[in-house]
Amino acid sequence: MPLRLQPKLRDDEAVVGGIGNTHFDLWASGQRPQNYYMLGSMGLAAPIALGVALAQPARRVFALEGDGSLLMQLGALGTIAAVRPKNLAVIVFDNGLYQITGAQPALTAKGVDLVAMARGAGLAHCAWATDEAHFEALIDTALAGAGPLFIGTRTDNQPPAGVTERDAARIRIRFMDSLQVAPRASAQTDER
């Protein structure tokens, strides 16, 4: 699905890739400085993306999260629904299993419907992408600033197509540079 997402990105949209296949596939589908690759902190792709979206309301922000990760932080759906950032879309890759740890089944393989949970959390604009064309149409909706949007996609159980680099500080600095944020000048302070 990142292969379908990245060509749609025009210039400066920020993308936060959750751990596991989401950020591995994001990396493999083409690296851009506006992509933030997480090292750990399973379940925090959507909260991190929410923070970026709050800081930069004019920028479109995407979170890519796996089903196993989202299951760890379901409250985040309610938080996003409460804050209602127009510039944020959460995309969940649901393969029904914990692929990188040995393909153990996740609760999503046993009946948990994450789009239904998102709707129940108060996210009015949420949908399962029925096919690639529908997925691309949902991305267009997000790019139009009609968020918050929650998009569910069914993915396969293939291993990731690549592996990200692991230098968290470098990833963070490159991401901030691409967002035109200078770390120590990110806000004016009274330097008394």
Partner 1 sequence: MVPEDTAARADESWDETVARVLKVNAIRLITYVPDRALAPLIARLHADDYFTVIAPAREEEAVGIVAGAYMGGLRGIVLMQTSGFATLPNVLASLALPGQIPLLMMISERGTLGDFQLGQAMVCRIMRPVLETLGIEHHVIARREDVEFIVDRMIKQAYATQAAAEAA
- Residues of the shown chain interacting with partner 1 in the complex, contacts defined by CB under 8 A: 14, 16, 36, 38-41, 43-44, 46-56, 59, 73-76, 78-79, 82-83, 168-169, 171-172, 175-176, 179-181, 183-184, 186-190, 192
Rg of the chain on CA atoms, in Å: 16
CB-nearer residue toward partner 1: 82 or 102:
82
Give whole-number Cα distances, 85 to 28, 47, 112, 115, in Å. Answer: 28, 12, 26, 18
CB-nearer residue toward partner 1: 51 or 160:
51
Could you tell me the smallest distance in angstroms from the CB atom of residue 70 to partner 1?
A: 12
Could you tell me the smallest distance in angstroms from the CB atom of residue 53 to partner 1?
A: 8
Could you tell me the smallest distance in angstroms from the CB atom of residue 38 to partner 1?
A: 7
CB-nearer residue toward partner 1: 156 or 189:
189
Among candidates 90, 108, 89, 88, which has minimal Cα distance to 157? Answer: 108
CB-nearer residue toward partner 1: 39 or 109:
39
CB-nearer residue toward partner 1: 101 or 188:
188
Among candidates 142, 92, 154, which has minimal Cα distance to 117? Answer: 92
Could you tell me the smallest distance in angstroms from the CB atom of residue 35 to partner 1?
A: 12
Q: Which residues have a Cβ under 8 Å from the Cβ of 166 and sit 6 or more positions away?
A: 39
Could you tell me the smallest distance in angstroms from the CB atom of residue 98 to partner 1?
A: 16
Cα-Cα-Cα-Cα torsion 79, 81, 87, 91, nearest 10 degrees, comes to 80
Could you tell me the smallest distance in angstroms from the CB atom of residue 123 to partner 1?
A: 14
CB-nearer residue toward partner 1: 73 or 153:
73
Distance separating alpha carbons of residues 153 and 169, to the nearest angstrom:
30
Q: Tell me the H-state helices in 73-167.
A: 75-83, 114-120, 132-143
Record the tokens describing residue 32, joined without a space: 């851009």
